[in-house]
Amino acid sequence: MIIYGNVFYKGRIVECGIEIENGVIVDVGKDKRGKNVDGIIMPAGIDVHVHFRDFKESYKETIESGSLSALYGGVCLVVDQPNTNPPIVDEEIYFRRMEIAEKSTYVDYSLNLGLVEDNVDKIDEILRKIEEKHYVPAIGEVFLKDRMSVSYETLEKAKKTVNKLITVHAEDPNEEDDVKAEVKAVERCLSIGKFHFCHISTAKALDMIYHSESTSEVTPHHLLYSKEVVKLRVNPPLKSNDVRVALVRNFHKADILASDHAPHTLEEKWEGAPGFPGVETIYPMFFYMVKRGYIRINDLVEKFVVNPAKIFGFDRYGEIEVGKYANFAVFDPHSEKPIKARDLHSKAGWTIYEGLMAIFPKEVYMRGEKVLEDGEILIDKGFGKVL
């Protein structure tokens, strides 16, 4: 099978063909002629930070609804987080969740293992049992405050015990100022070792990570909104506009762009539940920003495709290249439209990005198979691979 069109390949858009066998790219070249695809053929997105709820919170999101939302947004691989109800802190709960995913996910699915005070002494044993069957991208996101939190000492113990990426939600439990809390937590963690820092929201913390061996991610909501504009709660909190602007100016220092998709019902949201849905809107919003010249297309691909695959060890995922899975999102740059909650597919049913402009993919391919076309899903749930 060969598809032909305008392809983002090796850092630029070129007219060429992509030859696919058994779901994998086997050749790319201008002499490869096949089925013409209109639009820009981009590598499919990888969202390394989603909360697909399910279990006792299935009323506000499930792996099925969350992965469907991801697919409509041009995302073909997600990393789900373990702070579910019940939390994923042992092999039994991990396997239960993967069984649900195998039956219900539309996109490829992976799952982090949770770290808590009660499992730190056996975390390596739990990990070994799980990895007989599944690939665990990371331990985390590890919380330093609130629910499922661990001490710095426990984090240090886990770092010595486990030869695995650890992702950290960096907010110091003893600091009330939310800017200082992030900076202090990052500083303390960097003194322990190398980590991946989730949803960094301050330029100072981002700069510290940038000049270390650790890696970082940023979210659309921390880049686009200040606490003066959006009063709703999220962890870490939205910052003042001057802090937000500084983060935007340091966007190039972030390794990864991730949604931190965290859906709640509207009733829960008004009562103060932290988090925003966003897995369906992240790629479309940022592709629109590329069109407008706000960010470079190379930066978007690096932070939403290449680095997520590299940092989290997804060998056959990432850029469009020989040996990688044929996972594509096809965008028509002329098909921009405002985001409307009624058009989205998360169970949450609302979005803080209402009215912002976006370009949603017109087609999506997974392992060479067309799975979405003009708003119609062409596969059944369970099509996605469980890693």
For residues 147-178, one letter each, b for 16 or more C-beta atoms within 10 angstroms of the residue's C-beta and e for the rest, the string is ebbbeeebbbbbbebbebbbbbbbbbeeeeeb
Domain boundary among 286, 312, 338: 312
Count of structural domains, the chain = 2
In a shared domain, residues 360 and 230: no
Domain extent, residue 236, equals 45-312
pLDDT over 90 at 146, yes or no: no
- Note the pLDDT of residue 32: 87
Residue 338, token pair as written in the block: 């405002």
Residue range 57-101, pLDDT digits in tens: 999 999 999 999 999 999 999 999 999 999 999 999 999 999 999
Residues 6+ apart with CB under 8 A from 277: 61, 69, 261, 262, 263, 344, 346, 348, 350, 351
Domain boundary among 278, 312, 346: 312
Tell me, rounded to whole angstroms, the distance of Cα 279 from its chain centroid: 7
Q: Give the phi and the psi of residue 300 in degrees, each rounded to 5.
A: -60, -50
In a shared domain, residues 234 and 329: no
In this structure, which amino acid lies at residue 273? A
pTM comes to 0.97
| Residue 386: inside a domain | no
Residues 6+ apart with CB under 8 A from 15: 4, 5, 6, 7, 30
| Residue 320: inside a domain | no
Q: Which H/E stretch holds residue 76?
A: strand 75-80
pLDDT over 90 at 114, yes or no: yes
159: left (phi over 0), alpha (psi -120 to 50) or beta: alpha
pLDDT over 90 at 170, yes or no: yes
Alpha helices in the chain (DSSP H): 63-72, 91-104, 123-130, 152-161, 178-192, 203-210, 220-224, 241-249, 266-270, 282-292, 297-301, 307-312
Residue range 353-369, pLDDT digits in tens: 999 999 999 999 999 99
In a shared domain, residues 202 and 219: yes
Tell me, rounded to whole angstroms, the distance of Cα 341 from its chain centroid: 20
Q: Measured between alpha carbons, how far is residue 192 from residues 14, 152, 214 in Å?
A: 45, 9, 11
Residue range 223-270, pLDDT digits in tens: 999 999 999 999 999 999 999 999 999 999 999 999 999 999 999 999
Could you list the active site residues? 260
pLDDT over 90 at 115, yes or no: yes
State the CATH number of the domain containing residue 158: 3.20.20.140
Residue 122, token pair as written in the block: 């056996």
In a shared domain, residues 36 and 52: no
pLDDT over 90 at 302, yes or no: yes
Tell me, rounded to whole angstroms, the distance of Cα 153 from its chain centroid: 28
In a shared domain, residues 134 and 283: yes
Question: 303: which DSSP letter?
Answer: I
| Residue 110: inside a domain | yes
pLDDT over 90 at 295, yes or no: yes
The Cα–Cα gap between 157 and 177 comes to 27
In a shared domain, residues 36 and 51: no
In a shared domain, residues 31 and 95: no
pLDDT over 90 at 201, yes or no: yes
Domain boundary among 312, 336, 355: 312
Percent of the chain surpassing pLDDT 70? 100
In a shared domain, residues 31 and 152: no
- Note the pLDDT of residue 251: 97
State the CATH number of the domain containing residue 344: 2.30.40.10
- Note the pLDDT of residue 33: 85
Residues 6+ apart with CB under 8 A from 355: 338, 339, 340
The Cα–Cα gap between 253 and 59 comes to 37
In a shared domain, residues 250 and 342: no
In a shared domain, residues 89 and 213: yes
CB 62 within 8 A of CB 313: no
| Residue 14: inside a domain | yes
Residues 6+ apart with CB under 8 A from 160: none
Work out the angle at residue 149's Cα, subtended by the Cα atoms of residues 147 and 154, and round it to the nearest 5 degrees: 160
CA atoms within 13 A on the CB side of 374: 2
In a shared domain, residues 180 and 36: no
Residues 6+ apart with CB under 8 A from 229: 241
| Residue 179: inside a domain | yes
- Strands 108-111 and 2-9 come out as unpaired
| Residue 318: inside a domain | no
Mean pLDDT of the chain: 97
- Strands 35-43 and 108-111 come out as unpaired
In a shared domain, residues 193 and 301: yes
Q: Give the phi and the psi of residue 46 in degrees, each rounded to 5.
A: -125, 115
Question: 341: which DSSP letter?
Answer: G
- Note the pLDDT of residue 35: 86
Cis peptide before 236 (omega within 30 of 0): yes
Identify the band that residue 312 occupies on the pLDDT scale cut at 50, 70 and 90: very high
| Residue 60: inside a domain | yes
Residue range 61-70, pLDDT digits in tens: 999 999 999 9
| Residue 382: inside a domain | no
